[in-house]
Amino acid sequence: MPLLGGIRPPIALLCVLVLALAGLTAKVLGPAGEKVVPEAVLSAQQHFAEDGAIALRASIDERVADLNRTAAALNEGSPVEPERVLSDLGKTYQKWTGTTVLDLETGKVLAARGETIPLGWLDKDVLTGGKALKPRMVRLETGDVRLMTMAVLDFKDRPQQLLIASNSLSVPAINLGQFRSMAVVATGGEVLATAGFEQSEALNSDQERKELSFLQKQMSKLSGLAADETEQNPVSAREPGSRGYPGVSGSLVGESYNGRIATAGYASLASSDPEEKQSVGAGLGLTVVAMIPAVQQQTAAPGRELYGLLAAGALVVLGLFAVTVLLVTVQRPLLRLFLESRRLARGDMTRPVAVPRWGEAARIGRALEHLRVQLGGAADESAERRPGKTRLGVRGPLALTAVVLLLWCVPVGLLLNRTDDSVSVPASMVSDQRDRTDLVADRVRRALNEAQADMVSTSRLIRGDDSGATTKVLEAGLREHTRYQSLYLLSADGDVLARAGEEPSAQWSGEEDLPPVRVAGKGGKKPVIQVGAPVPDRKGETVVGEVRVEFLNSLLKRPGLGEVRVVDSKAQTIAASDGFLAFEKLPRDALADVVRAGSVPVGAGPVENGLLFREGSGVTVAAAAPFSGGGVAADLGWTAVSWQNAKDFQIAAYQLEDRSVLAGLLGLALIVVCLGWVFLVVARPLRALATGAEKLADGDLKTVQYPRYQDEVGAVVRSLELIRQQLQVRKQNQARRLAEPQPVVRGR
């Protein structure tokens, strides 16, 4: 008998799958080794650290690019005095804590602005302009760490000068809330900068001060562990085939104090596109660590330990019953028919055929008994063939088996472990939603500020009336920054004097009271975001850049944050992580309330702030963060708003519901695969076999019984073909004897 065909394999597979699904059910619907900290909190800290790492890496890269671009532009023009260089640099960009120009030959300081930059870290490689103009991290006498960025000024007929700009390595200046903290960590675990702890200094009780001290120690410890983890290769650190953050990221669990556990997420600085040129910030070996104390997760509810075992036991009982039904009603009669048909094909006609009681097997058995009689066996009146067709046959046991298994699949998948609006969302998840939204808003605000600063810097590079040279300046700016779709120079009358990129999408008005960042394009599919700056000493001329909406949309796409939008003061959409139409309203009225409540401190309570609301049986976590922190973009009145269904969080109740649905779906797949296999391989061929056997028993000796499958049904068909051939031979012999002349017996 074949090993991969017939009735045995699907029944055996049904047994194996039932036992496997029962084991899986006992594991995932039972306690399943619940962690002391919810998985949702750990994932949120990891995403928070990734957001911080992305923001810090982009900030470092932007500052390095701006300094190099400024130096390159200065080198192409006429010599400029060091004081003028630093003055123009300070007016264009307000991002450096200190700037210095020194003579490379003598090391003499020619000009300095802002914070005093120590020069003891300068070495021969830097002073000779060798390989070494990479950013350096330098610790000041105050203990603070600064990132030194350098560029060479190479004017004609003048000695080379070194332009140095220092800036801090602090994390984005956002509201982290009480006891949340972030840190920038160097290779080896040294903490270079922290944020968040200073917001908790004004504590009222000794208990809170002790908790703050505990968290500071945990930050130092977890930072060292995070630095060790981020030394891995980003490819080998992830599971094979997984995607996501391009660097190394993860979460850590520290010690507990007073019922709260220190949980941290970490992420190394990584290039946004590994295939592009290496990011300067990504090459510094820095790691961002985000930490928050989380409330210890409660143990499973009473009886939860037995729930998985009870569900698995019920599946085993129902599965064994289903297998028994198939064995008794399908497999055993079929195997009996196989043995009986083979006996008749071999010529053993001594005993009657054991006819099954019902179904196609009974029809085939009665036909075999009729054929046995035709082949010369003794008639058995009790086995007289009663022609006819059964309505259900094998399909009846299959339907019964399916119903029995569905009695387990439907309750587990659709009725049990259903969540409702009473599911508790951890308070830290609501805080994380607000803080991460604030971080996104800060990134968009900084990007727009950088865009306007680019226009100011570009305007200072435009000299004379040479449109060709102006076009080259605009094309260089377009190549260096992917945020623009077009750059152009406008005259006082609004005419385009020079352009790089696409055609202008909207008219730029030269009125002085209009902001340098503007939005146009109402009535279209996409808003047009313009930034501009007047050209010095050229009255009425303006350099304008149109920011790609896709660039802003890419800043909003972050895992674990749900749908994110940037809206104006009228709650009209400017950018979104998903598709949108220009200036459309928010999809829910409750979100507009969240936008209006976005300036309310989180400490007032998430529900009162509109950050957590319930609609029907669902729970939605939403947050809004207005643009703040300085720059021209802070005056736009824009707000970043995010929302997502609480089911997207890895909360235990929702995970249990999802696992129950998965178990029910797996059970349904088990039914379809195994019973569908039996139906296709056994039930349908068996009905065709019953029809063919009855025709043969009724005298149809011309139709060849051809086996289509190499299994039990096919074996019975082969035996019927042999019987058909025997009947043909018997009929031919009878006809021959009748045709032969009978001998005449003569008397004497």
- Please write the tens of the pLDDT for every residue from 29-43: 876 455 677 788 888
Q: Name the residue among 214, 168, 220 with its Cα closest to residue 189.
A: 220
Whole-number pLDDT of residue 127: 66
Q: Name the residue among 418, 422, 423, 359 with its Cα closest to residue 394.
A: 359
Q: What is the DSSP letter of 600?
A: S
Residue 271 lies inside a defined structural domain of this protein: yes
Q: Phi then psi for 671, rounded to 5 degrees?
A: -65, -45
Residue 152 lies inside a defined structural domain of this protein: yes
Residue 53 lies inside a defined structural domain of this protein: yes
Q: Are residues 433 and 406 in the same domain?
A: no
Residue 241 lies inside a defined structural domain of this protein: no
Pairing of strands 528-534, 287-295: unpaired
Residue 30 lies inside a defined structural domain of this protein: no
Q: What is the DSSP letter of 412?
A: I
Q: Cβ distance 640 to 174 under 8 Å?
A: no
Percent of the chain with pLDDT over 90: 15
pLDDT in tens, 497-537: 888 988 888 888 767 667 888 888 887 888 999 999 888 87
What residue spans of 380-426 are helical by DSSP H? 395-410
| Strand order across the 484-490 sheet | 496-501, 484-490, 542-547, 528-534, 517-520
* Average pLDDT for the chain: 81
Q: Are residues 343 and 452 in the same domain?
A: no
Residue 671 clears pLDDT 60, i.e. is over it: yes
Residue 98 clears pLDDT 60, i.e. is over it: yes
Handedness of CA 66, 68, 69, 74 (dihedral sign): positive
Q: How many angstroms separate the CA atoms of 286 and 656, rounded?
A: 38
Q: Cβ distance 437 to 625 under 8 Å?
A: yes
Residue 656 lies inside a defined structural domain of this protein: no
Lowest model confidence (mean pLDDT) among 89-98, 220-229, 572-581? 89-98
The total number of structural domains that make up the chain: 3
Whole-number pLDDT of residue 299: 52
Q: Are residues 112 and 181 in the same domain?
A: yes
**Domain end residue (candidates: 648, 678, 697):** 648
Out of 6-10, 227-231, 294-298, give the one with best mean pLDDT: 227-231
Q: Are residues 342 and 465 in the same domain?
A: no
Lowest model confidence (mean pLDDT) among 149-158, 379-388, 627-636? 379-388
Residue 558 clears pLDDT 70, i.e. is over it: yes
Q: Are residues 337 and 455 in the same domain?
A: no
For 320-340, b/e burial (b = at least 16 CB within 10 A) is eebbebbeebbbebbbbbbeb
The strand ranges marked E within 58-144 are 98-103, 109-114, 136-139
Q: Phi then psi for 572, rounded to 5 degrees?
A: -100, 140
Residue 576 clears pLDDT 70, i.e. is over it: yes
Whole-number pLDDT of residue 603: 36
Q: Are residues 516 and 400 in the same domain?
A: no
Interhelix angle for 467-480 vs 39-76, to 10°? 160
| Enclosing domain of residue 188 | 37-236+248-298
pLDDT in tens, 405-439: 999 999 888 877 777 656 677 777 788 888 888 88
Residue with tokens 């900290």: 37
**Lookup: tokens for 507:** 């008219």
Whole-number pLDDT of residue 387: 54
Q: Are residues 369 and 507 in the same domain?
A: no
Q: Name the residue among 477, 459, 449 with its Cα closest to residue 634.
A: 449
Q: Are residues 405 and 441 in the same domain?
A: no
